[in-house]
A and B are shown apart, each in its own frame.
Chain A
Amino acid sequence: MLGKLMKHDFRALSRTLFPLQIGILAGGLLATLLTVLTVRLSNASWAGSNGSTMLKELIMAASTTMSVLIGIAIAASAFVTILLICIHFYRSFLCDEGYLTFTLPVSTSNLLWSKLLTGIFWLLINAVVICVTILIFAVFGTTSAGIANQSVLDLIKQFFTEFLPRAAQYISIPLVIVECVIVGLLAIASQMLELYFAIIVGGQIAKKHRILAAIGMYLLINMGVGIISSVFTSVVAFGEGVWEITLNTAQEVGTFFTSVFGWYGVLFAGLSVLFFLVSRSILKKNLNLQ
Chain B
Amino acid sequence: MDAILEARALTKRYGATLALNNVDLTLPRGKIIGLLGPNGSGKTTLLKIAAGLLTPTSGVILADNRPIGEQTKSVISFLPERTYLPDWMTVNDCLDYFEDFYSDFDRKRAVEMLTRLAVPANKRMRTLSKGTREKMQLVLVMSRRAKLYLLDEPIGGVDPATRDYILDTIIGNYDSEATILISTHLISDVEKVLDEFLFLKEGIITMHDTTDNIRETQGKSLDELFREVFRC
B53 and A1 form a contact (CB under 8 A)? no
A1 and B55 form a contact (CB under 8 A)? no
CB distance from A104 to the nearest CB of B (A): 5
Q: Is B162 part of the binding interface, using a Cβ–Cβ cutoff of 8 Å?
A: no
Q: Which residues of B contact A289 (CB under 8 A)?
A: 48, 53-54
B84 and A96 form a contact (CB under 8 A)? yes
Q: In chain B, what residue has the closest Cβ to A11?
A: B93
Among A118-126, A239-247, A280-288, the stretch in contact with B: A280-288
Q: Which residues of A contact B53 (CB under 8 A)?
A: 98-99, 102-103, 287, 289
- Using an 8 Å CB-CB cutoff, how does the interface string of B55-78 with A read, 1 for contact, 0 for none? 100000000000000110110101
CA gap between A38 and B22 in the complex, in Å: 76
Choose one: A7, A104, A285; the contact of B55 (CB below 8 Å). A285
Among B95-103, B196-204, B217-225, the stretch in contact with A: B95-103
Q: Is A106 part of the binding interface, using a Cβ–Cβ cutoff of 8 Å?
A: yes
Choose one: A1, A8, A91, A287; the contact of B97 (CB below 8 Å). A8
CB distance from A109 to the nearest CB of B (A): 10
Q: Is B85 part of the binding interface, using a Cβ–Cβ cutoff of 8 Å?
A: yes
Q: Is A178 part of the binding interface, using a Cβ–Cβ cutoff of 8 Å?
A: no
CB distance from A245 to the nearest CB of B (A): 50
- Using an 8 Å CB-CB cutoff, how does the interface string of B4-43 with A read, 1 for contact, 0 for none? 0000000000000000000000000000000000000000
B55 and A286 form a contact (CB under 8 A)? yes
A105 and B84 form a contact (CB under 8 A)? no
Q: Which residues of A contact B100 (CB under 8 A)?
A: 4, 7-8
Q: In chain A, what residue has the closest Cβ to B73?
A: A105
B101 and A105 form a contact (CB under 8 A)? yes
Q: Which residues of B contact A285 (CB under 8 A)?
A: 55
CA gap between A55 and B111 in the complex, in Å: 63
Q: Which residues of A contact B93 (CB under 8 A)?
A: 11
Q: In chain A, what residue has the closest Cβ to B74?
A: A105
CA gap between A4 and B54 in the complex, in Å: 24
CB distance from A217 to the nearest CB of B (A): 20
CA gap between A62 and B74 in the complex, in Å: 60
Q: Is A252 part of the binding interface, using a Cβ–Cβ cutoff of 8 Å?
A: no
- Using an 8 Å CB-CB cutoff, how does the interface string of A78-101 with B read, 1 for contact, 0 for none? 000000000000010000111110
Choose one: A7, A8, A103; the contact of B78 (CB below 8 Å). A103
Q: Is A15 part of the binding interface, using a Cβ–Cβ cutoff of 8 Å?
A: yes
Asked whether A103 and B82 contact (CB < 8 A) given A287-B54, A287-B55, the answer is: no
